[in-house]
Structure 1
Amino acid sequence: MKVEGWNKLLVATVIVLLWVAILALIKVLFSDSNGFEWGSVSDWLSSLGTIGTLGIAIAAYKKAPEWLAQKQYDVVHNVIEESVYNNLTKVKSSSHHLKNLFCSVSKQSIIVLNNNCDINESLRDEVYKLDSLMDEFANISYSVINSLNTIPRNGFALSNYSCSIIDILKNTNREYGNIYNLFLSSYFEVDSLIHADRQAKDLTIDEFLEFKKQVTELHKKVSDLIVATYSNNYSTDKFIVRKKGIHESIS
């Protein structure tokens, strides 16, 4: 259940409890007939119990904002644990696999151009695998992004550090996508360059070398952020901005 649901349930419970307590108090005090009477000892004990219930209801109502704030914090804490301290490692691993596959296909494509040989089935399979790894990286990255974006719906704002994680993940996805599109253009030229002159081959080889450099730098950038986050073992407060007032009292 979302925090908003808990809020509505708590308020409704307190209202019902207050209403029942008031009705019970009225019934006990004025249950005798025509005029005012002091009632029996049991009536007064029942009245005191009802007043106690009313006091508990009022205290619960006053405590509700603090309870809800703690509930919000607990939800946000779980989001951070899952998205940052669990799924970010998957982002790093996925980026590592993607970088290695880009480098492997680039290396094999350069060998094909240098040796005037045909593209073998193994190389074709690795190119097809690139597509699935691109999807995997995007899915894992956006699972982190989407989880972090739920934080403002739970009463807290994203900190600058959380925003930097989101920005780096988005930028890394975009840059991998740009590299991938240009990479495929170069790869699909390899077959037609088998019997081309040396200059034409060298131009395409230079492109593959540049792709290797770009993906290595790109992976390092996202990896450095993730490693730093884990090494520093930041608390939940590193990733959120508390509201003034009740949130500031949560330790």
Structure 2
Amino acid sequence: MFGKVYDIFVKVAIAVLIVLFFWWLLVGAYSKDAIGTVSDWISSLSTFLTLIVAYKAYKAAPNWLNQKLDESALTQATQIISRDLYQYRKIIEAPYNEINNFVMLKDLADENEDVAPYLYEFMQKFRRFDDIIHQISEQKSKIEGDFVALHKMGWALEDNAYDKYKNLNKSTSKLQSNYSSIYSLIRIYDKFMEEDNHLKASNVKSKIYKLCDMNYELFNKFDECFQLFFHHSKHIPLYFGGKR
């Protein structure tokens, strides 16, 4: 609508300028006052035309800003799904691998073979996973915050992708809880051993075995949820329902 008005105005302005030009030639070619009047008209029309151009640029600005926001959102979404989630998985996988190695050694041992050396080695290594267990929480919070930021930019996860993301978070929480419990039990086991309370230490050891045996199933569930979310679409924008 504005474009049509603008075109009409330009045509009218040109017609007025032509009339003023001939008027200046026929009536006031040698009159300083007339020349001044014509100059004032031309200056006023030029100023108004400049305002029209500026207004058109102002009206086009929201489209430009929206395009920039979409580009920024796409970049952030690509980083979350293609980079951050993979790094997240590597962090989660590290404690799993250590637990799984111990379970394999424990299960392969003969009934008469003492598994204490395997347990001791496992506990020595797992004590160093305290920071990694905290990193899982931090990375989980960061990714959630990034998705919230995308939502505010108009990029909300579409319903199916959101459900898969919720399932991923649930499976992650269960796996992390298992890691934390094993870590806590190892510290309790150490305490009982220092007190020479072997009966309580033995009970704690049984709980550690039980949690370690659960680890494989919990990680498989996490990995299944991860793959379902990650392979939701081959195109990052299709994870999102658009601007709502």
TM-score, scaled to structure 2: 0.64
Candidates 223, 236, 240, aligned match of 2:226? 223
Bigger shift: residues 80-89 or 44-53: 44-53
Task: Give CA-to-partner distance per residue, 1:25-72, whole Å, 9 cap, x none.
Answer: xxxxxxxxxxx9884444333323212211112212322332232232
Map of 2:53 onto structure 1: 56
Report the AA paired with residue 45 of structure 1.
I
Map of 1:213 onto structure 2: 216
Bigger shift: residues 160-169 or 67-76: 160-169
Map of 1:129 onto structure 2: 128
Bigger shift: residues 152-161 or 88-97: 152-161
The Cα RMSD (Å) is 3.9
Choose between structure 1 and 2 for higher RCO, CA contacts under 8 A separated by at least 6 residues.
Answer: 1
Map of 1:239 onto structure 2: 240
Relative distance call for 1:42 and 1:127 in structure 2 (3 A) is same
Q: CA deviation at 1:122?
A: 3.7
Q: Please give the alpha-carbon distance, in whole angstroms, between the structure 2 residues aligned to 1:58 and 1:116.
A: 80
Paired residues for 1:158-197 under 5 Å? 158-164=157-163, 166-184=165-183, 187=186, 188-189=188-189
Q: CA deviation at 1:226?
A: 5.0
Larger radius of gyration: 2
Task: Give CA-to-partner distance per residue, 1:128-168, whole Å, 9 cap, x none.
Answer: 12322212222223222111110232234332245235423
Q: Please give the alpha-carbon distance, in whole angstroms, between the structure 1 residues aligned to 2:135 and 2:218.
A: 16
Relative distance call for 1:129 and 1:200 in structure 2 (3 A) is closer
| Structure 1: runs of 5 or more not aligned | 1-35, 244-251
- Identity between Structure 1 and Structure 2 (%): 17
Q: CA deviation at 1:83?
A: 1.3
Equivalenced residue count is: 204
Q: CA deviation at 1:206?
A: 6.0
Bigger shift: residues 156-165 or 133-142: 156-165
Relative distance call for 1:237 and 1:46 in structure 2 (3 A) is farther
Paired residues for 1:57-206 under 5 Å? 57-107=54-104, 115=114, 117=116, 122-164=121-163, 166-184=165-183, 187=186, 188-189=188-189, 204=207
Q: Please give the alpha-carbon distance, in whole angstroms, between the structure 2 residues aligned to 1:94 and 1:169.
A: 15
Q: Please give the alpha-carbon distance, in whole angstroms, between the structure 1 residues aligned to 2:110 and 2:133.
A: 24
TM-score, scaled to structure 1: 0.63
Q: Please give the alpha-carbon distance, in whole angstroms, between the structure 2 residues aligned to 1:67 and 1:77.
A: 15
Relative distance call for 1:66 and 1:89 in structure 2 (3 A) is same
Relative distance call for 1:205 and 1:59 in structure 2 (3 A) is closer
Relative distance call for 1:147 and 1:48 in structure 2 (3 A) is same
Paired residues for 1:10-21 under 5 Å? none
Relative distance call for 1:208 and 1:123 in structure 2 (3 A) is same
Report the AA paired with residue 102 of structure 1.
I
Map of 1:4 onto structure 2: none
